[in-house]
Amino acid sequence: MKKCLLSVWALIVTGTQLFAQSPTVLTIKADKPTATIQPTMWGIFFEDINLGADGGIYAELVKNRSFEFNAPMMGWKEQKEGEAFGSTLVENRLEKGATNPRYIHVTANSDKGKYGLINEGFRGMGIKQGETYDFSVWTRKTDASSLTLHIELINIKGEVIGKADLTPTDKDWKKQSVSLTATATEPKAKLALWFVGTGNLDLDMISLFPKNTWKQRPNGLRADLVQLLADMKPGFLRFPGGCIVEGRELSTRYQWKKTVGEVESREMVINRWNTEFKHRPTPDYFQTFGLGFYEYFLLAEDIGAEPLPILNCGMACQFNSAEVVPMSEIDPFVQDALDLIEFANGSTDTKWGKLRADMGHPKPFNLKLLGVGNEQWGPQYLERLPLFTKAIKEKYPTIKLVNSSGTDPNGERFDYLNKNLRSMNVDIIDEHYYRAPDWFLQNAHRYDNYDRNGPKIFAGEYAAQSVATVSPDNKNNWKCALAEAAFMTGLERNADVVHMASYAPLFAHAEGWQWTPDLIWFDNLRSYGTPNYYVQKLYSVHKGTQVVPLVEKNETVAGQNGLYASSVLDKNTQELVVKIVNTSDKSQTTNVVIESAKKVGKTGKLWVLKSENLESVNSFEDPTLVSPAEQSVTLKGKQISLTLAPNSFSVVRVKLS
Catalytic sites, residue numbers: 375
Based on CB atoms, which residue is closest to ligand AHR, 100 or 407?
407
Q: Within positions 409 to 438, which residues make up the interface with ligand AHR, using CB under 6 A?
A: none
Size of the site for ligand AHR (CB under 6 A): 12
By beta carbon distance, the residue nearest ligand AHR is 242
Range 48-87, binding ligand AHR (CB under 6 A): 49
Would you give the DSSP letter of residue 451? -
Q: What distances in angstroms separate CA 304 from CA 39, 78, 216, 300, 520, one per listed residue?
A: 10, 45, 18, 6, 19
- Could you tell me the smallest distance in angstroms from the CB atom of residue 405 to ligand AHR? 12
Residue 375 binds ligand AHR (CB under 6 A): yes
Closest by Cα among 104, 103, 115 to 193? 115
- Counting contacts by CB under 6 A, is residue 406 touching ligand AHR? no
Neighbours of 361 (CB within 10 A): 17
The interface region with ligand AHR, picked from 129-137, 220-228, 237-245, 445-453 by CB under 6 A, is 237-245
Q: How far, in Å, CA of 46 to CA of 89, rounded?
A: 37
- Residue number with CB closer to ligand AHR (242 or 353): 242
- Tell which one of 242, 371, 406, 512 touches ligand AHR (CB under 6 A): 242
Are the beta carbons of 514 and 500 closer than 8 angstroms?
no
Site track for ligand AHR across 451-480, x = CB under 6 A: ----------x-------------------
Under the binding rule (CB under 6 A), the answer on residue 134 touching ligand AHR is: no
What are the Cα distances from residue 395, in Å, to 297, 371, 388, 403, 609?
A: 21, 16, 11, 18, 47
Establish if 207 lies at the interface with ligand AHR (CB under 6 A): no
Our finding on whether 374 is near ligand AHR (CB under 6 A) is yes
- Contact (Cβ atoms closer than 8 angstroms) between residue 341 and residue 404: no
Stretch in the footprint of ligand AHR (CB under 6 A) among 69-77, 241-249, 489-497, 591-599? 241-249
Crossing angle of the two packed helices 351-358 and 331-345, in degrees rounded to 10: 50
Among 421, 504, 568, 617, binds ligand AHR (CB under 6 A): 504
Asked if 527 and 521 count as a contact pair (C-beta separation under 8 A), the reply is yes
204/461 with CB nearer ligand AHR: 461
Of 52, 56, 240, 241, the residue at the interface with ligand AHR (CB under 6 A) is: 241
Q: Are 548 and 32 in contact (CB under 8 A)?
A: yes
- Distance from C-alpha of 432 to C-alpha of 73, rounded to nearest angstrom: 39
Q: Which is nearer to ligand AHR, 459 or 578 (CB)?
A: 459
The DSSP code sequence of 300-341 is HHHTT-EEEEEE--SB--TTTT--B--GGG-HHHHHHHHHHH
Residue 505 in the binding site for ligand AHR (CB under 6 A): yes
Answer whether 341's CB lies under 8 Å from 370's CB.
yes
Q: How far is the CB of 309 from ligand AHR (least distance, A)?
A: 14
47 sits near ligand AHR (criterion: CB under 6 A) = yes
Binding site for ligand AHR (CB under 6 A): 47, 49, 241-243, 374-375, 407, 461, 504-505, 515
